Structure 1
Amino acid sequence: MAHLYLAIALTVSAAIAAVVYFGFNTPYDPALLTLATLLGCTFVIAFMLSNRLERQQTRHRQLADTNALQQQLIEHSSSAFLMLDNQLNILFLNTNHPSLEKMVANVDVFSLDQYWQENVPEETRKLVNQAISDKREWRGELRFQNAEGSDYVAATIAPILEDNGDLSRVVISIEDISEHKAIADRLFIREHYNVLTGLPNRHFALRALQSTINEQNHGDSHFILIHIDLDRIRYINDSLGHQVVDRIFIETTERLRHSVSEDQVLAHLGADEFLIILNASNSSIEAQNLANTVLEQCRTPYFIDQHEVNISASLGLCQYPDDGADSTVLMRRAEAAMFNAKEMGGDRFSFYEEGMSSETEKRLEIENHLRYAIDRDEFKLYYQPVIDLKTNSLSGVEVLLRWQNTDLRNPGPDQFISVAEQSGLIIGIGKWVLEHACKQVVTWSQTDLPPLTVAVNISAKQFIDGDIVESVRFALRQSGLPASRLELEITEGLLINDTAEIRDTFMQLKKLGVHLSLDDFGTGYASLSYLKRYPFDTLKIDRSFVHDIDNCNDSVTLTNAIIAMGHSFNMTVIAEGVENLHQRRILRERHCDMVQGFLYSPPLPTDQFVSWAKRYAEMQTSQHV
């Protein structure tokens, strides 16, 4: 290239010198012409060299800028980079990168091979070496131990090949994912472990149970499942509070941990339920011994603050595969055996037997269908008339819920209400009933029907766990029904939880203007002190006192006493279950205010109730009943 530049320079210089020399008609002088040529050549060479030097400097500045940008990119990249030659010796290593600093802190870069040997499992090293030998990329996670714990990196190891396919370089990128792993671990713990006790939760227990099932490869393999339910926890929660109950759960966890071995799974299913999964090596006798140990541990008194708390447990045992080959089935059957132990008085264990789970499975099926009953429009409201005995006129209705579900053959309230209460679904169902009943009565008032009072049953669960005051306020506001025409029927079972919060809820409801009725009086826990303490407007005599009032003097005496008691507290008294004229006559003679029952009408759907009400009104105008 230099010879080419020199030839070009000489040619150009000679041409310029000749033009200048002969252009001025200068007499021919070889020395002068040679000098002019040399001067021109020197000028041209100097110009060309300076021009080339300028271009090289510009190129160097561009390369330096590019290198600086690349260096910044490498330094600020989320990944650290290493480059190795084909013998896996280090050619480049950005040791200042945080990801690499954590991994090789205080370690000489030349001892990285030893560090790799000491920190990466042999199996992983073999996979990486095989990938490099096969000239393909390897991706994975690497764990490095340090004084504070462990660091995790995501690594990509990629071979760079020559044109002929031989290995030229190996590029390794490493990204610190320790924080992501820590977050993932926390999320895993939150999803799979009980926050209070630190034990695996129901979700984890089901997975562990299915994993145990999958490990049973032999036809004669078996293992036993123990479902534990602590007795009397609800009573303790009501009397001493949930803080004491939480301490009981924590203490129970420690006792159970000391009772089970490391190869047995202990889980906290939630609330007062625990689970133990035994391994295949445990026999039935060993399972019974463990069950007895658990019972004894739970019988031992709990000393919490200044309280000595005594509880017991009910245990249900089932065996794979005799009692089920699926994790869900096994869980249900262990629970069924536990309920059997609880029904026998608790503080004992029971093995699953054929037929035990039928009731439990039926309740579970009802609960699953109940969850979608409102969305599927399966609930219907029925109305039973309430008659004023003094005027024989229709004064109101009691709302009764019916469930039209063909899959379950339309179960009655006695079948699904208790399930709804135990599952908590009664709160949503109760709101639906309240809102639709209020709307329906307002709709009737816009027709020929007289203004009616509507009585709606309220579950104790709605009172305790649901915001009943807000639900009532919303139903009244949405429907436009006057508060004085809404009556809330409350069963005596609520009154056993005689708390300041419940009394305050009663007062708030009274401020809204609604009427409160004590339903099924005489069959539960109510006493005169409750009648004095709570602002009830109505007392309902249970049908069990009315059904034989026409042939049993004791029933007459009790009914008469209830009526007198209600009137002494300025309450309206309603008798349920009136089926014949003789019963009605006796109640009228004892000054009972109102009645309802099959004598007048069974509960009716909306359209049939309207037809009945019109016929009854016509009958009242045509004759005196």
Structure 2
Amino acid sequence: MTTPTTQPSRPHLMLHERPKPVWPIMMVGFDPDLCTHIAHLFSDYAISGHVIKVMPCHTPEKALQQLLERRYALVIINAGLLDLNDPDNLVRVMREDFQQYHTRYIVVDSEPGETPMAEWLLEMHIQDYRHLQHINDNDWLMIVTQACQNYQLSMANNRQERGLEKVISATTDLLNKTSLRHFAEGILDQLSASLGLDEDGLICVQRRVRTPSSPCSPLYITAATGQHASLIGEPLSQLAALDIQSAFETCIEQQGPIFDTHYTALYYNNSHWEGAIYIDCECCPSDDYQQLLEIFASNISQCNELISKVNKLSFIAYHDTLTKVPNRTRFLLELDQRAKTQDVNTVIALIDLSHFADLNEGLGVETGNRLLINVTERLQSYLGDTCYIARIGADVFGLIGQQQDLNPDSIRATLSTPFDVGELSYSMRYNVGLCRLLAGEMTGLTLLKRSYIALARAKRNSARNYEFFLEEMEFDNRWRTDIINQLKNDFYEGHLSLWYQPQINLKTGAVCGIEALVRWPDSAGGFIQPPSIFIPLAEYSGLIIDIGDWILEEACRTFDKLKRQQHTLQSVCVNIGIPQFKQFNLIKTIQRLTQEYKLPAGTLVIEVTEQLAMHDPQLVIENLHTLQKLGVHAAIDDFGTGYSSLNTLRHLAIDRLKIDTQFIHEISHSNAEHARPPFAETLISLGQKLGLKLVAEGVETQAQANTLRQIGCHQGQGFFFAKPMPFDELLDWLNDNPSLSF
């Protein structure tokens, strides 16, 4: 008896113990605590059967070294490592130099601010751009899951394409066919070339696979050679040879090959189509020859199925899944083709639906989707015959057409009629940015960028809702970028300064407070830009967050200095903008400052505009109530110039109203003593009924001050009393003017 050879024992691995495949994700340039948190978040989380492994890299050099060792499903990069103006940034190097083409790239900005323009993200091959303070754990789960699934789809598509080449290696030319007819013609070409068949006796027919809803779909001739070539595209019933018709019908009915003494019929199919090939021959093929033909037919079926899948994936890649029109990627390709024509009559239009996000939030996503579909159908109905239509953003449609067809009037005629969305008749507001195809070489991306510039101008234009791109607009964008860069440098180098304007008790003449106002001085004693220019740019760039924190701290420090020098001011006022109100640590910052400088309750006054209060009422109401509990007062600035809801105003935790300058200028300089300014008096009366302190801005004459005092305004601020001044001048002014008489 033979003794069996002893094999080394191996541990028995149960099915549930088999390790799952891993999708590695790289985090570049982030705090180690954040990386650890993300790793812990995904420790028990699988995506499509894959576990997530987080690989932190603190430097770009380390990240590139890691790319030499393995491929990553996702790379998350700190925005601080990217130069927006450098085409050879880290993402491009990873993609192209290290050939990480299927990897998904997401940029996370740890500093609050605006998201870069979409065309920059597209050009840099960045799938998403987020701000760190806006990402919670659920967002991380969603972001990573979506990125990994997209990576899986990209890899699957790549494997499918490589598999397709192997499956049809003997018929590789079929892969280039983009229609049923071309595919069928390729089959006949390959049969003739590979098997040495007579080209005059080949016919190919196809039809959709039978379903309960369409059981009798007719057969069409999709390819033919020789004497039958003229019938391509016709129903099989048009073929005069009834015996060939019968052969096709029998072959497809039995879904298998027929080897007869006078012909051969091969059957092939996929999930959507089925077809047959008729081969005219003088005798029944040999067994070997039959086997070869069956293998060829099997290859055709696989090739046909894979081509259908590739076409489906291509449709998904280049079309919007909701509206079924081309998406942004396909729109850019179309723009590239149109740019080559240099047809100066071509116009590109971007239509942005106004307040679409509000509609989604108020009435639900289904209502929003219904509106998008209705808009698409309306555009196709009115402009589809002459214009190329795409959906290139959540609420943005892109169109390309000739000037006579695509213009503000044709768009207005298309969209002016209300849309029926369920039981709602919705009159949609929109803005349009238009760009003509100017002479000279340009890319689709350039045309899209210019259209977006025009669209941004249209949104800011209160007189009309459309703008055509002009070359000076691009110059204006460069100018804004230069100003923002200079402002950023000067701020961080300490060149900005805080000036102060006194506020006067109109009844007693006493100085009761100061307002802190930021200035951007130059070296010659003037100013580089006024606040009306650089404050909006600071808000646009996100720099206002840091500037705002600095203003708060400097204003509190100034009040503390004045208090130590025995100046009995009651308040210091600081303006707060929308981006500052949205930052998560604003309340903590104000709480720290009031405690650090021991400011009595009511000393610090936060000024917000009506626009801010109406922009996000719930956020403003919650924050102001929280600040009120901390002893911080609040004022509505420029009151009367916005569109305040009295109901919202009633719920705001405010202590004072600041009457805007334009209402103070109502007061006539010549007969102010006898004039009763109607708007100013109405606003002051409203404030009195609400029990609020009233402050008049822009007081320039004694007549205005006297009238304001007579109609019950509490405080005044303006050039009549004092101009804004730096701290040293403010100190001298306060020493010289403990109280004013007027």
TM range (shorter): 0.5 to 0.7
**Matching residue within 499, 502, 505 for 1:385:** 502
Decide which structure has the larger Cα Rg and report it: 1
* Preserved contact between residue 353 and residue 396 of structure 2 (Cα < 8 Å): yes
Aligned partner of 1:310 in structure 2 is 427
What secondary structure, in the 3-state scheme, does the structure 1 residue paired with 2:529 have?
coil
- Cα deviation, residue 534, structure 1: 3.0
Letter in 2 for 1:614: N
Question: 1:307-346, CA deviations, whole angstroms, 9 ceiling, x for partnerless residues?
Answer: 3322144433322334984667644543465567664865
Match of 2:396 in 1: 273
SS of corresponding position for 2:436: strand
2:170 to 105, 114, 117: 117
Tell me how far 1:503 sits from its aligned partner. 3.1
1:45 maps to what in 2?
none
Q: Which residue of 2 aligns with 1:541?
A: 659
Tell me, yes or no, if the aligned pair for 1:546 and 1:555 is still in contact at 8 Å.
no
One-letter amino acid matched to 1:383: Y
Shift of 1:515: 0.7
Q: Tell me if structure 2 keeps the 8 A contact 1:317–1:334.
A: yes
CA contact (8 A) 2:343 2:439 kept: no
Letter in 2 for 1:609: L
CA deviation after TM superposition for structure 1 residue 523, in Å: 3.2
Matched, 1:613 2:666: no
Alpha carbons 1:386, 1:594 under 8 Å: kept: yes
SS at match of 1:489: strand
User: Would the aligned equivalents of 2:419 and 2:427 in 1 still touch at CA under 8 Å?
Assistant: yes
Q: What do residues 77-109 of structure 1 show as CA deviations (whole Å, max 9, x unaligned)? A: x9xxxxxxxxxxxxxxxxxxxxxx99999x9xx
What is the aligned partner in structure 2 of residue 458 from structure 1?
Answer: 576
Q: Does residue 230 in structure 1 map to residue 353 in structure 2?
A: yes
Q: Which amino acid aligns with 2:698?
A: G
Q: Say which of 382, 395, 403 aligns to 2:512.
A: 395
How far, CA to CA, are the matches of 1:531 and 1:468 in structure 2?
22
RMSD: 5.2
Tell me how far apart the structure 2 counterparts of residues 250 and 328 of structure 1 sit (CA, whole Å). 26
Partner of 1:52: none
Q: Does 1:516 align with 2:659?
A: no
What is the CA–CA distance in structure 1 between the aligned matches of 2:377 and 2:444, rounded to whole Å?
26
Q: Following superposition of structure 1 onto structure 2, how do residues 587-602 of structure 1 map, counting pairs within 5 Å?
A: 587-602=708-723
Partner of 2:103: none
Structure 2 CA distance for aligned equivalents of residues 483 and 196 of structure 1 = 55
CA distance in 1, matches of 2:650, 2:685: 15
Listed as ranges, the gaps of 5+ residues in structure 2 are 1-69, 71-158, 177-268, 273-308
Give SS of 2:725's match.
Answer: coil
Contact 1:460/1:491, CA 8 A, preserved across alignment: no
**Of 507-516 and 468-477, the range deviating more from structure 2:** 468-477
The answer to whether the aligner puts 1:433 opposite 2:486 as a matched pair is: no
Report the Cα distance in structure 1 between the residues aligned to 2:487 and 2:689, rounded to whole angstroms.
42
Cα 1:113/1:411, change in 2 over 3 Å: closer
Change over 3 Å in CA distance of 1:316–1:113 after alignment to 2: closer
Which residue of 2 is the match for residue 413 of structure 1? 531
In the TM superposition, what is the alpha-carbon distance from 1:517 to its structure 2 partner? 1.3
Distance of 1:241 and 1:364 partners within structure 2: 38
Contact 2:511 2:569 in 1 (8 A): no
Amino acid at match of 1:117: A
Specify whether residues 329 and 430 from structure 1 end up closer, same or farther in structure 2 by C-alpha distance, changes over 3 A only.
farther
Cα deviation code 1:468-504 (max 9, x no counterpart): 5455335545655445211111223345468555433
Cα distance in structure 2, aligned partners of 1:401 and 1:339: 27
Counterpart of 1:285 in structure 2 is 404
**Residues 578, 599 of structure 1: 8 Å contact kept:** yes
Q: Which residue is equivalent to 1:98?
A: none
Instruction: Answer yes or no: is the 8 Å Cα contact 2:325–2:389 preserved in 1.
Output: no
Q: Indicate how the Cα distance of structure 1 residues 593 and 322 shifts in structure 2: closer, same or farther if over 3 A, else same.
A: same
What is the distance in 2 between the residues matched to 1:194 and 1:334? 20
Find the aligned partners of 2:319 and 2:588 in 1 and give their Cα distance.
35
Equivalent residue, structure 1, for 2:21: none
Give the letter aligned to residue 442 of structure 1. D
Provide the C-alpha distance between the structure 2 equivalents of 1:475 and 1:205, rounded to a whole number of angstroms.
52
The one-letter amino acid of 2:348's match is L
Question: How many angstroms apart in 2 are the aligned matches of 1:529 and 1:377?
Answer: 42
- Matching residue's letter, 1:275: G
Aligned-partner Cα distance in 2 for 1:358–1:511 = 48
For residues 120-140 of structure 1, what are the alpha-carbon distances to aligned partners after superposition, in whole Å with 9 as ceiling and x for unaligned?
A: 8899xxxxxxxxxxxxxxxxx
Per the TM alignment, residue 405 of structure 1 is displaced from its structure 2 partner at its CA by: 7.7
Which amino acid in the other structure matches residue 226 of structure 1? Answer: A
Q: 1:354 to 1:374 in 2, by over 3 A?
A: closer
Match of 1:35 in 2: none
The 1:384/1:351 distance shift into structure 2, 3 A limit, reads closer
C-alpha distance in structure 1 between counterparts of 2:387 and 2:644, whole Å: 52
Q: TM-score, length-normalised on structure 2?
A: 0.48
* Counterpart for residue 199 of structure 2: none
Give the partner amino acid of 2:735.
Answer: K
Aligned equivalents of 1:274, 1:366: Cα separation in 2 = 31
Question: What's the CA shift string for 1:435-490, capped at 9, x where partnerless?
Answer: 44334433444445445511112235554687754553355456554452111112
1:526-567 residue CA offsets vs partner (Å, 9 max, x unmatched): 476555443321122222233335434444465455444433
Q: Normalising by the residue count of structure 1, what TM-score does the alignment of the two structures yield?
A: 0.56
Residue 390 of structure 2 aligns to a residue whose secondary structure is strand
Aligned to 2:288: none
8 Å Cα contact 2:681-2:711 kept in structure 1: yes
Please, which of 558, 561, 569 is the counterpart of residue 690 of structure 2?
569
* Contact 1:228 1:313 (C-alpha < 8 Å) held by counterparts: yes
Distance 1:490 1:103 in 2: 58
Cα distance change of structure 1 residues 503 and 284 upon mapping to structure 2, 3 Å threshold = closer
Counterparts of 1:210 and 1:238, CA distance in 2: 36
Counterparts in 2 of 1:367 and 1:272: CA distance versus 1, 3 Å: farther
| Contact map agreement 2:556 2:594 (CA 8 A) in 1 | yes
Residues 297 and 222 of structure 1, relative CA distance in 2, 3 Å threshold:
closer
Which residue among 557, 560, 580 is the counterpart of 1:442? 560
Determine the C-alpha separation between the residues in 2 that align with 1:393 and 1:104: 84
Secondary structure, counterpart of 2:602 in structure 1 = helix
Paired with 1:488 and 1:600, the residues of 2 have a C-alpha distance of: 22
Q: Distance in 2 between matches of 1:335 and 1:423?
A: 17
Which residue identity does 1:484 align to in structure 2? G
Q: 1:354 to 1:545 in 2, by over 3 A?
A: same
Kindly indicate whether the alpha-carbon contact (under 8 Å) linking 1:385 and 1:596 is maintained by their aligned counterparts in 2.
yes
Cα displacement string for residues 243-284 of structure 1 (whole angstroms, at most 9, x for unaligned residues): 75566446545665786589957352x454333356xxxx44
What SS is found at the alignment partner of 1:609? Answer: helix
The Cα offsets for residues 322-371 of structure 1, whole Å up to 9 and x where unpaired, read as 49846676445434655676648657x66546767676765666566666
Counterpart CA distance in 2 for 1:381 and 1:397 is 12
SS at match of 2:737: helix
Question: Could you tell me which amino acid in structure 1 is paired with residue 351 of structure 2?
Answer: I
Partners of 1:517 and 1:523 lie apart in 2 by 14
Q: Quick check: 1:404–1:410 contact (8 Å CA) kept in 2? A: yes
Return the structure number with greater helix share: 1
Q: Deviation of residue 388 (structure 1)?
A: 2.6
Q: Distance in 1 between matches of 2:512 and 2:668?
A: 24
Specify which of 537, 560, 579 is matched with residue 700 of structure 2. 579
Q: Which of 419, 423, 436 is the equivalent residue of 1:319?
A: 436
Q: Deviations over 1:214-238 (max 9, x none)?
A: x45xx77885322222245477468
